[in-house]
Structure 1
Amino acid sequence: MDTSERRRGTGRLWGVPASCARTGRPTRIIPLAALLMASTAVLPLLANSPALSQVATGTTFNIPAGDLGSVLAQIGRAASQPISFPADLTRGRSAGPIVGRMSVQEALARALAGSGLVAVQGAGGALTIRGGATIPAAGSTVLGDIAAIDVTDTAAGSRDVGFTAVDTRSSARIDIPLKEDPRSVVGVTEAVIRTQAQTSALDVARNVSNVRISTGSEDLGAPTYQIRGFAQSSFLLNGLPSGSTRIPITDIERIDVIKGPTTEFGGPSFRGGAINAITKAPTATPIQRAEVFYGSRFFRTLAFDFGGPVQDLEGVTYRLNVSGNTANYALGGASSPHEALISPVVAWQGVDTRLAAGVRYIDTLSGIARYAPTSPDNFRPFRIQRDVPFGNLDNLVAFRSFNPYLEADHHLGRIDSDTVGSFDFKIRNRTSYFLTDMFGQNLIPYNFTRLLAGRPMFQPQGYVFGEAVNRVVTQSDLLIQHNTEFVRQTMRIGIDYLDTSVNTKSNIQAISGDFALSNPPQNLPYPRYSTRSSRGFSQFTGTSVYQDNVGIAFQDKIDILDRLHILGSVRHDWFNSRSNTLRSSGLSTSTLTESALTYTAGAVYDVLPWASVYGSVGTGFVPQIGLVNRTQPAPPARSNNSEFGLKLSLLDNNMTVTMARYHLENTNNLVQDNAQMMNRLGPGLQAEGYEIDFQGQVTENISLIGGYSYNNYKNARDPRAGLDAVISVAAGQPQHQANLFVVYTFTDGPLRGLSIGGGGRGQTLSYMNNFVPKAESPVLPGFITYDAMIGYTIENFRVDVSVRNILDRYYYDVTTSEFAAPVADGRVFMIRAGLDF
């Protein structure tokens, strides 16, 4: 298809390979502001501008014969152009094969031949498949020259194919194909999630190279993850910073792991990258699905997924996900863990406008993270029983979240010119409110004191923690698409607002006296123990933090001859922070007003139709809470990112491979100086290495996903130290890490519908102390674990059985503490069965 022809905006999100900036230099901020004002000034002229049809050239199609709905979806997928149609209109019809280079019009004509269906173009350029007897509305025409195609895929809005993720969806501010994004972005699809019978969004991300997961901090803490060595404690939720990682798997359609700069999603950066959870969306395809999970510790889940068009309301679709689960106990405490979800959303699609509104409510109760204390003489972690409740069954973390949200898109119009090409305009807004609260208690954190007769002595503590968070996020964009004969350009001018208030209360109670694990008279709350020991001291802390951030941004994506894809952005943020901290020593207050200018720039060049080279650079910032030298509010931490590599689309685009060389620097970090008993700005962390990620379908029967990373992590040199000072080791960072998952599916014969598969993951040793040279740091050994699965599909029923860590390997996950190590799960099995009715 001609570059001037592709991807006109309609009422929906553009199916556009889009989003890029020409430069990242700070001096461009003044002309960018002028461009914003100029664009705003011409908006009233656009709505009434006539649209001129354009001529489409060819796209290469290789679509086998099959169900008509599937064939139509693949036509849209191959041309990066979605097509909308009611599911009942294509049910029971077949089409294809569609093979060769042709226009989208010709491909659709072949698919619809003899069906009695036609493609109708609306006044706003939207394309819909309708019955041949349907009388087009005024102003619409039967398919001829297509100026735009409006997308709705048959798989509930997804354009993924099996294990292969096709586009960035909401993991870029403008929807672009993954192969045209000059970053490493890996999408773990719904097919992978279902086949592995996953129950945790964090576990899904383990399919991507250089991602490590922690179930929580020693004191309680939310589950966290690391990308390229940098820790994060919250997800992006459909591209919006949510502030939490507790998103039920039953509401998730795909998990994207975004590596590198992330300032485009709201200003403050996710240091090494971010996990973006893409939730299930309204769909024109009717969905009525019930699912049951059953697994270890009598874990059981009942989930329902409903969706489709709303009868008698043209253009209205909906999605409703409801689920609940529980188990006999959590290994980290909690005698009755549970998770509940209700997530309704409704969307309306008009000719030029799309609106969606929904609300998500989550209620969970889980155990604390299981940590094994380490011996104070050699810092080796003790081996604790991991298949029995750990500690006291009153240990728990309770979390609730209320999340209403609103989305709006409106196509303003198009201007066509014989000299400078065409301009298409669209506005978009995403607004979300997150109200969350968390309460936790842990009766057995460890505090080492000494050795007595060769036995480790501990001082037990009780820890109670509460947190309430209010977060408002809104993103508003003006999208401008400019097409000429040889160049396609998509620009985004946006303004974001992020407001957050966090109130926390904690109470640490230490029990007087020491005890040993082998000393029953102390009767402390280890397995088989209880406690009535007297309290030693209590330390209460309360903190209130208020932050708001306003940012303006300009993004630009330029596609030259459909071969060179240039992407970049420049952004300016203003943020304010005020914190109040109440301790036993009194009340302290700090305020901070700062601004930050950040940029990203990158390009992808298609050397061959199936091979592209890419590279990118970018900067970021992270606001910090605390005082430097007890007097000055801490300035934001800074990050610098760069990477280059190769992207491959192999086996007729059924297999994607990304190979990257990356370098990250995180500087200006606030760290505690124990010698001076105060905070100071530290040198930060440097990370560099190599990665490879691959996913897709090797043959008709074999699907796989996997990755490998080699990393070199180190703390940056402290400018206050001498040149001969030894740089301390970077804790919690293995040098090598790999993962692989392969599935074989029988497509014919008596075993048709049966799937078998398995894989594993592993990593080398990691260090436990950030503040000492490598030779002095305690070490956690590396590990390799193996998984297996078997599944069966027949008509509208599917069941998958997964066994993780099938050899029951005992190992510890990475940590940055030398006093305790997180104990990983042993053998875990899970059954996931789904019925479409």
Structure 2
Amino acid sequence: MGPVRQPSVSPFAGHARPRAIAIATVQALLIGAPGAWLAGHVPAAHAQGAQGAQSADAHRAEAQKPYAIPPGPLAAALNRFGRDAGVMLSFSTEQTNGLQSKGLNGSHGVQSGLRALLAGTDLEAVVQANGGYVLRKEVAPPPAPAPSATAKREAESMLPEIHVSAARTPEMATGRVHGHVAKRSATGSKTDVPIVEVPQSLSVITADELAGRAVSTVKEAVGYTAGVTPSASFDLREDLTTFRGFPFDWASFYLDGLAMPSTTYGVSTSEPYGMERIEVLRGPASMLYGQNSTGGLLNMVSKRPVAEPLHELQVQLGSHDRKQLAFDLGGPIASGSEWTYRLVGLVRRSDTSVDFVEDNRTFLAPALTWKPSAATSLTLLASLLNDDLGHSGGTSAFLPASGIALPNPNGTIDRDTYGGEPGFDFYKKKQMSVGYEFLHRFDDTWQFTQNLRWRKVDLDYQTAYGLGLLASDPSRRTLRRGAFGSFGENEALAVDSQLQAKWVQAGIEHTTLIGLDLKRTQLDEKRYFGFTGPAIDIFSPVYGAGLALPATPDTDQSVEIRQAGLYAQDQMKFDQRWLLTLGGRWDAASHEVENRLKATTSRLTEGKATGRVGLTYLFDNGLAPYASMATSFTPTLASNDYGPPFKARTGKQREVGLKYQPPGSNALYTAAVFELTQRNALTADPDQVNHPAGQVQVGEYRSRGLELEAKTEITPSLSLLAAYTYLDAEVTQSNDGNVGNTPKGIPRNTVSAWASYKFRGEVLRGLGVGLGARYVGKRPSADAAGYYMVQSFTLLDAAVSYDTGEWLFALNVSNLTDKVTYDCWYARCWYGPSRQVLATATVRW
């Protein structure tokens, strides 16, 4: 028997004057007063009491999406529907051979869409345990016995019965992914589209992958991702990461599509446990996001309220006296309610592999969604994150290369050595944010969204830091030290308003996006650099020496950055196969610096045009070759002591790639080759006599490379993640005498693989194992003359878990063989973390 058809329900049912309300909604939001609409909205009455509420819940359970699939061969229509809906459809060519579909237009859920596509055939779609569907011959129902007179009277007095499928909710761009393979994303287009339709390289790390590898930092999260090289150093202050050969940049990190503000040394960080997914878009993305890093961006998607009850409590113990408690709660406020919630929290207290460095974190992220109809939703998001790194500056405090990467007559410096001063050092960072996401669909064509977030970062940080070995000490054991301090705050407000239309003209399907992106960032900071402090025997340190910051800061400034960006994008699909993506943006940005030491104020106003063009061809077998070109601009935060603020750096990328998602599979394979160029980079001012330590913007970097990545569930039990990156990066213009050199810290080759297996037999059911390996090649310590190569390394990670359904027990080991790793810049080095064992118990109800 086929699925029972649901009655058609308008998204505006029960609301008076829907068009007037919709217009008032957009007017209120565009002038920045969403409360005007909220105050004037009157919720619809619920029909037929509790059973009417259940009917509304059933309708909302099958998420509606707009489709524009023209008539044609049934196989092509089903493949197209599977990509757009984000579901697996399994069928044979014999089943669909010679059959035609009438197409699909308008908004549908997965089941109603499949019924429409299969209308007129003798096939039906049957849901599977994994959330996918298989086709089979429609089975005729057996004849029902004639009802008795009593049964007839009882049936007439009852409300109509509605059957709700227990199918897994179709994947959404900001929702949960079951397993390791995401098929949809909004990071690469700001629209909910299949990843194969994005004409740039894009990776998604799902919440299931984060949990399976027991990820604690964003840097750990991207360790198995192509095109991304996390620093090997142990540093809890920030997630040092390079994208396609370009060094870490504060403009690289986004949360829910909005930039995360940072002070110079207080970079915004995020808690992976609070994320639904972490996405990496490689290459320029300024057409969508404005001021942005040349190498790419990392967008973290917060956990959001859910319609089904969710309760999770987690306890974790581990190496270095680690103790952690976390919880994830969500669901409707009450049965049949228009309100749903999510509350995620974590408290951690831990030592680390470096003496005196602690890893103490408190995180809380509440969220609330109001969905008065299928067409309208408002989600409120907030977060609080406090990091306290104990009596330390969060790192090993700049140890010398001699004794780590370079020889020293005294041997090797111990990996747990701290070069700072525990009685003087501290690092305390507080982050808080509040915002909302609003969505309103006017009809099957138009929808309006607006995302807003206010975020603040406060930093108090001081530390003794290493200045290199004392030249006058022939024993080569004395580390010179200075006192450093950074104190400040960064407050940012960002709002992104988008109007989207899905329409068809002359056989071409359009997804058109028009947006206005506004940002304001206010940075206020003081920095102190002291170069005379008590030295320490780094091979046998004794602490307790007195240190003090200099009386006068080296930097005392207020920086304000404003940006207004207007952008437009059109994703045009024609002939069911060709997809042309065109986008352009104009940004007006101002940069004002108040130097309180010199009592001067400098201003710079820039206008920048950026864009992207991409062409993709969609084969029926799942292959999707593409070519694209994109540009970027990135603000330069370094201060210019001899003139106006520095201009933005500009970037340009050419990329050719191939994405492959076999129909009916849970897999995504990608390959890309690219060339990236960045201009306006800082390099030494030739006039060092009049401008000592001055810089000018004539530098240029170029990066070429190849990326391969596979995310696949080979069988229902076996999953594999694999990535390879080849990078040829070099300095192409500079006044520093380093033209032709590779930028510091950039390896030529990186390889990674993670395999996990879940036993499904009667004896070992619930048992899971995982094993991973990460290889990072040799990389230069500097891009200047006299650099040395930092050794390559391979790290192994492992996991064992047991899942009873209600309880999940896991044991994770990172750096399984306790391999010694380090990163070095010039004459300073930082050890990587030692082996860490984590035991986690999770209960779900």
TM class by shorter-chain length? 0.7 to 0.9
Contact between 2:88 and 2:665, CA under 8 Å: does it hold in 1? no
1:790 matches 2:784:
no
Q: Distance in 2 between matches of 1:179 and 1:111?
A: 35
The amino acid across from 1:684 in the alignment is E
Q: Does 1:657 align with 2:669?
A: yes
Is 1:559 matched up with 2:577? no
Counterpart-to-counterpart distance in 2, 1:639 and 1:570: 15
- Cα distance in 2 between the residues matched to 1:113 and 1:432: 54
- Residue pairs, 1:43-54, within 5 angstroms: none
Q: What is the distance in 2 between the residues matched to 1:76 and 1:631?
A: 62
Q: Deviation at 1:292?
A: 1.6
Indicate conservation of the 8 Å contact 2:449/2:497, yes or no: yes
Q: Is the 8 A contact 2:88 2:663 kept in 1?
A: no
Does the 8 A contact of 1:376 with 1:451 survive in 2? no
Answering whether residue 595 of structure 2 is matched by residue 581 of structure 1, we say: yes
The letter of the residue matching 1:789 is: A
Q: Which of 542, 553, 574 is the aligned partner of 2:556?
A: 542
CA shift at 1:349, angstroms?
4.4
Report if the CA contact (8 A) 1:325-1:339 is conserved. yes
1:369 paired residue among 395, 399, 423: 395
AA paired with 2:441?
Answer: H
| Residue-by-residue CA offset, 1:536-566 (whole Å, 9 max, x unaligned) | 8864421210010001001010112331121
Deviates more, 1:380-389 or 1:165-174: 380-389
Change (3 A) 1:514 1:825: closer
**1:515 positional shift:** 5.7
Tell me how large the CA RMSD over aligned residues is: 4.0
2:99 counterpart residue number: none
Answer yes or no: is the 8 Å Cα contact 2:199–2:616 preserved in 1: yes
1:81-100 matches, within 5 Å, as 83=109, 97-98=126-127
Partner SS for 2:226:
coil
Q: Is the 8 A contact 2:745 2:779 kept in 1?
A: yes
Per-residue Cα deviation, 1:65-88 (whole angstroms, up to 9, x for no partner): xxxxxxx99479999988499xxx
**Match runs of 1:676-825 below 5 Å:** 676-677=691-692, 678-718=694-734, 727-772=740-785, 776-813=786-823, 815=824, 817-825=825-833
How far is 1:285 from its partner? 1.3
Residues in 2 aligned to 1:377 and 1:812: alpha-carbon distance in whole angstroms: 8
How far does the alpha carbon of each residue in 1:198-228 deviate from its partner, in whole angstroms, 9 at most, with x for none? 122221111201212238899x963321111
Q: Which amino acid aligns with 2:395?
A: A
* Equivalences for residues 596-611 of structure 1 within 5 A: 596-611=608-623
Instruction: Give the direction of change, closer, same or farther, for the CA distance of 1:686–1:508 in structure 2 (3 Å limit).
Output: same
CA deviations on 1:784-804 (whole Å, 9 max, x unpaired) are: 111111111112221221111
Q: Distance in 2 between matches of 1:242 and 1:726?
A: 33
TM score, norm. by length of structure 1? 0.78
User: What secondary structure sits across from 2:314 in the alignment?
Assistant: strand
Q: 2:438 aligns with which of 386, 408, 424?
A: 408
Given that 2:176 and 2:276 are in contact with CA atoms closer than 8 Å, whether structure 1 keeps it comes out as: no
In 1, Cα distance between equivalents of 2:721 and 2:758: 15
Distance, in Å, in 2 between the alignment partners of 1:248 and 1:77 is 37
Alignment CA distance shift 1:98-1:221 (3 Å)? closer
Report how far residue 811 of structure 1 moved.
1.2
Asked whether 1:502 is paired with 2:512, we answer no
1:638 partner amino acid: T
In the aligned structure 2, how far is the partner of 1:353 from the partner of 1:496? Answer: 21
In 2, are the aligned partners of 1:628 and 1:670 still within 8 Å (CA)?
A: no
With over 3 angstroms needed to count, the CA separation of the structure-2 counterparts of 1:73 and 1:735, relative to structure 1, is: closer
Percent identity reads: 20
Match of 1:124 in 2: none
- 2:659, 2:180 → 1: CA distance? 17
Question: Structure 1's 698 and 53: CA in aligned 2 closer, same or farther, altered over 3 A?
Answer: closer
Q: 2:185 aligns with which of 164, 168, 189?
A: 168
Is the CA contact 2:353–2:834 (under 8 Å) kept in the aligned structure 1? no
**1:603–1:731 CA distance, 2 compared to 1 (3 A):** same
Question: Does the 8 A contact of 1:9 with 1:411 survive in 2?
Answer: no
Aligned to 2:253: 235
- Sort the Cα spacing of 1:10 and 1:784 in 2 relative to 1 into closer, same or farther, 3 A: farther
Partner of 2:215: 198
The partner residue of 1:310 within 319, 327, 333 is 333
Q: CA-to-partner distance for each residue in 1:749-782, whole Å, 9 max, x for gaps?
A: 301111112011011111112222xxx3222111
SS of 1:445's equivalent in the other structure is strand
**Which residue identity does 1:745 align to in structure 2?**
K
Residue equivalent to 1:358: 381
1:247 equivalent in structure 2: 270
Determine the C-alpha separation between the residues in 2 that align with 1:731 and 1:796. Answer: 48
Q: Which whole-Å deviations, capped at 9, do the CAs of 1:619-658 have from their partners, x for residues lacking one?
A: 1111224566812432211001111111111473322111
Determine which of 582, 587, 605 is the counterpart of 1:568. 582
- Identify the residue that residue 624 of structure 1 maps to in structure 2: 636
Question: How many pairs are equivalent?
Answer: 718
Please give the alpha-carbon distance, in whole angstroms, between the structure 2 residues aligned to 1:440 and 1:581: 21
**555 and 789 in structure 1: CA distance in 2 versus 1, 3 angstrom threshold:** same
Q: Distance in 1 between matches of 2:805 and 2:138?
A: 28
Alignment of 1:476 onto 2:497: yes
The alpha carbon displacement at 1:673 in A equals 3.6
Q: Which moved more, 1:496-505 or 1:477-486?
A: 477-486
Aligned residue among 306, 330, 333 for 1:283: 306
- What is the alpha-carbon distance in structure 1 between the residues aligned to residue 789 and residue 707 of structure 2? 24
1:336 offset after TM fit, Å? 7.0
Q: Note the C-alpha offset of 1:738.
A: 0.8
Determine the structure 2 residue equivalent to 1:347: 370
Would the alpha carbon gap of residues 215 and 338 (structure 1) be closer, same or farther in structure 2, given more than 3 Å must change? Answer: farther
1:827 to 788, 811, 835: 835
- For residues 368 and 499 of structure 2, the distance between their equivalents in structure 1, rounded to whole angstroms, comes to 24
Q: TM-score when scaled to structure 2?
A: 0.77
Gaps of 5+ in 2: 1-8, 13-29, 31-65, 80-84, 92-103, 112-123, 143-156, 262-266
1:807 is matched by which residue type in structure 2? T
Tell me: CA distance 1:792–1:486, structure 2 relative to 1, closer, same or farther (3 Å): farther
Matched to 2:307, the amino acid is A
Q: CA deviation at 1:473?
A: 0.6
Which residue of structure 2 lines up, in the alignment, with residue 452 of structure 1?
A: 473
Tell me: CA distance 1:790–1:672, structure 2 relative to 1, closer, same or farther (3 Å): same
**C-alpha contact (below 8 Å) 1:620/1:638 kept by paired residues:** yes
Contact 1:655–1:695 (Cα < 8 Å) also in 2: yes
Contact 1:330 1:389 in 2 (8 A): no
Say if 1:444 and 1:461, in contact at 8 Å, map to a contact too.
Answer: yes
2:224 corresponds to: 207
Report if the CA contact (8 A) 1:333-1:390 is conserved: no
In 2, Cα distance between equivalents of 1:166 and 1:497: 30
Contact 1:83 1:151 in 2 (8 A): no
Instruction: Name the SS for the 1:209 alignment partner.
Output: coil
Aligned pairs for 1:260-271 within 5 A: 260-271=283-294
One-letter amino acid matched to 1:699: T
Q: Which of the residues 456, 481, 484 maps onto 1:463?
A: 484
Distance in 1 (CA, whole Å) between partners of 2:285 and 2:10 is 25
Please, which of 431, 456, 459 is the counterpart of residue 435 of structure 1?
456
Match of 2:350 in 1: 327
